[in-house]
Amino acid sequence: MTTTPLPVSVADPATDRTVVGENLSLPLFRTLSGVLAGHPYLKVVVDRAEATWHLLDTAAHPFHVNYIATRVLGMDLAELDAQLDEFNASVYMDPERRFLLGVLSLHTDEDREGHERTFLVLETTEADTMHGELLEFFYTFVRERVDGRLPLLLKPANHVQEEALASVSEQRVPRVLGHELFGSRVRVPLNAGEATGRLRCFTTLAEYEAAADGLGWSDIVAMPCLPDGVQRVAGFINTAPITPLSHTNVLASGWGIPNAIVRDLEQLVQKDGLDGAWVRYRVSEDEITLERLEQAPELRAPAWHQQRIRLEPPLLEDAPVLSLHRLRSADRDRYGTKAANLGELHHVLDSRTADLTAFYGRPRPPRKNLYGHLAARLGLDSPSATELRAAAASFVAGTVAAPEGVALPFSLLHRFLTSSPALQQGIGKLKMALELDATDVLDPLCLQLQHLIRHTAMPDSVAGEITRAFPAALAAGGRLVVRSSSNAEDLPGFSAAGVYDSVTTVHGTGELLDAVRQVWASLLSPRSVRLRHQVGISLDDTYMGVIIQEYVPAALGGVLVTCDPTRREDFRNVYLNCSPGSPEQVVEGEVLPQQYLYNTVEGGGRTVALGSWSEGLPAATRARLADLSLTGRLLQSHFSAPEVDDPLDIEWLLTDQGDFRLVQIRPYAL
């Protein structure tokens, strides 16, 4: 279900099949309907003043608001554009509104006896604020005019409507929740795109690993859940549910390859003999298709074979171990991207001088800006620009905190590597293999180097600088978290999501030094070396910084991206995933997280999926996640400037004390 869209031209009455006042049969539904998220759908408008309804021809009227304004009220588009926000409020938020707007979609499932059942679902838009009585009226009005042989269920469009319906009997208003429909979907787009390649199906990780050496850039890999270490191929297919915010989908997004959930793939493969066959694979917002090709096509090597990403040379002169709050974004060439971003976050929260309203200042035609919507979200009435900026900065600082910790500079890794002749010799061999493109020897060379890094003693001066960072915590046996912070990640065309190591259970000096070496060694893993080599990133310019933090127990953790990954043109919504415990459970796929969408323009949120849990979060927690989502959107104004529409990827946790901490902030790969 989409939010209120932008106006377009009015349909030609001569070709418009819209009907008014008629009862809806299944043949009429199919005549007027379009397709949304793989389901036939039809827009409806109930006119309470005239006690009638309008069944819109989908091809002629993609937007409710345009139809009402031009066909019912006699307005022209210029007049509508001039008062669009006020008009939207009158049809989506006014409790005494004349018009009730919704969508009817057609679905199928199986009844208790295993027989296929066809039914209709009625829903409003995500920004709609209908109270329980109005929702009941809307459902009853439509139910009386729809073929009685078709079951009709009401789907609350947001959390407010779910709560409003709680007091209404399900006998009077049969309903289905959004996450229940989502969970039953057979095909779900994750990353749009098209690929032609050879379909390779695996049922287990062991099967994939046994065949991995034979996979190439022209293969399309299908399995229940792709591993984070999947190599670069032409496309992904998941045969079991997964979140759009998984590491593998971030990779698919960064690589620009199609990715989708296709739960009926086994039937398709058996029916058409697709395993090992050449196919054309297409993923769009509305449709996912696999078309078998009769013969192997002539394929050109993908563009990334010629891609060359150049890094700014790292600064390797001695630099101190610094607290994160002393870093700024410009320090990425000494401490790495993650550490520099966290330092910049400290600055934004502490100084409150950054303009966090720029995203809302962008024109969204026909609107000149969205400042009015932001003011409403912040509870302000007609603020000045200065007041709005101050309120946004205060809201963010009052909602989240940045993690405390220290950053180890690249110079410590450089001193460590140059202290060992064996390491220098191994690096020299690896560089020669990369220069000769001798990919057959890369893996053993990388593994040997990683082993050496993990087992080579640190110079006393290096070890001392690291252990002095947390003397009290180390002496008391407190738990530390050690995270990677490379200069070869979060780059245009190269995200490196999930490529480098972090260690989250560190106690004592010995474990701390071991964890730092493990993070350093991940810079030379076979996978990271191959991925960087594929896009022309030089080993000479690649370095690893390290972030060390005291462990903070989390009641809830997760990831949010300041966009809807499955609908990139949607500027309203923030996509949020969470699960009890640490954010790593979400990104590493250990559990299937709960998934939510929060509207940062008109407000409101909705549950997309409950993941591995049987119940959603309490209403109070969901309200706090709405604040977190708005915070992420406001931070986007600073961290993605000057292109403030570029979304962010934020890892967060909710502490046992009920405070939000942001533990990572970076660009979201598009």
- For 414-457, what is each residue's pLDDT tens digit? 999 999 999 999 999 999 999 998 888 999 999 999 999 999 99
Q: Is residue 116 scored above 90 in pLDDT?
A: no
Q: Is residue 160 scored above 60 in pLDDT?
A: yes
| For range 93-107, the mean pLDDT | 95
Q: Cα(335)–Cα(341) distance, rounded to whole angstroms?
A: 10
Q: Cα(33)–Cα(41) distance, rounded to whole angstroms?
A: 5
At 100, the amino acid letter reads L
The DSSP string of 366-414 is TBS--HHHHHHHTT-SS--HHHHHHHHHHHHHHHEEPPP-EEE-HHHHH
User: What three-state secondary structure class fits 636?
Assistant: helix
Q: Is residue 497 scored above 80 in pLDDT?
A: no
How many whole angstroms from its chain centre is CA 170? 33
Assess whether the previous peptide bond of 174 is cis (omega < 30° from 0).
no
The DSSP string of 139-160 is HHHHHTTB-TTS-EEEE--SHH
Q: Cα(244)–Cα(259) distance, rounded to whole angstroms?
A: 9
- For 4-37, what is each residue's pLDDT tens digit? 333 333 445 668 999 999 999 999 999 999 987 7
CA angle 500, 481, 595 (to 5 degrees): 70
Q: Is residue 229 scored above 90 in pLDDT?
A: no
Main-chain dihedrals φ then ψ at residue 385, nearest 5 degrees:
-60, -40
pLDDT at 196: 95
Largest Cα–Cα separation, the chain:
87
pLDDT at 66: 95
At 518, the amino acid letter reads Q
Res. 221 pLDDT band, cuts 50 70 90? very high
Q: Is residue 242 scored above 50 in pLDDT?
A: yes
Q: Is residue 473 scored above 50 in pLDDT?
A: yes
Other CB atoms closer than 10 Å to residue 84's CB: what's the count? 20
pLDDT at 439: 84
| For range 565-593, the mean pLDDT | 81
Mean pLDDT of the chain: 91
Tokens of 79: 């007049």
Q: Is residue 3 scored above 60 in pLDDT?
A: no
| For range 90-109, the mean pLDDT | 93
Name the nearest CA neighbour of 239 among 215, 257, 221: 221
- For the ranges 33-42, 467-476, 606-615, the maximum mean pLDDT occurs at 606-615
* Class of residue 335 by CB neighbours under 10 A (exposed 0-12, middle 13-18, buried 19+): buried
User: What three-state secondary structure class fits 94?
Assistant: coil
Res. 311 pLDDT band, cuts 50 70 90? confident
pLDDT at 587: 59
Lowest mean pLDDT among 102-106, 116-120, 427-431, 606-610: 116-120
Domains identified in the chain and CATH numbers: 13-176 (no CATH), 187-298 (3.50.30.10), 307-347+400-544 (3.30.1490.20), 348-399+553-667 (3.30.470.20)
Give every CB contact of residue 280 below 8 A, 6+ residues apart in sequence.
Answer: 194, 195, 196, 289, 290, 291, 293
pLDDT at 306: 67
Q: Cα(290)–Cα(266) distance, rounded to whole angstroms?
A: 12
Indicate the pairing of strand 322-323 with strand 235-238.
Answer: unpaired
Terminus-to-terminus CA distance in the chain, angstroms? 22
Percent of the chain with pLDDT over 90: 73
Q: Cα(139)–Cα(136) distance, rounded to whole angstroms?
A: 5
Q: Is residue 484 scored above 80 in pLDDT?
A: yes
| For range 397-420, the mean pLDDT | 97
More confident of the two residues 180 and 338: 338
| For range 604-619, the mean pLDDT | 91
pLDDT at 1: 33
| For range 183-209, the mean pLDDT | 92
pLDDT at 112: 66
pLDDT at 9: 36
| For range 633-652, the mean pLDDT | 92
Tabulate helix, strand, coil % of the chain (nearest 5): 35, 25, 40
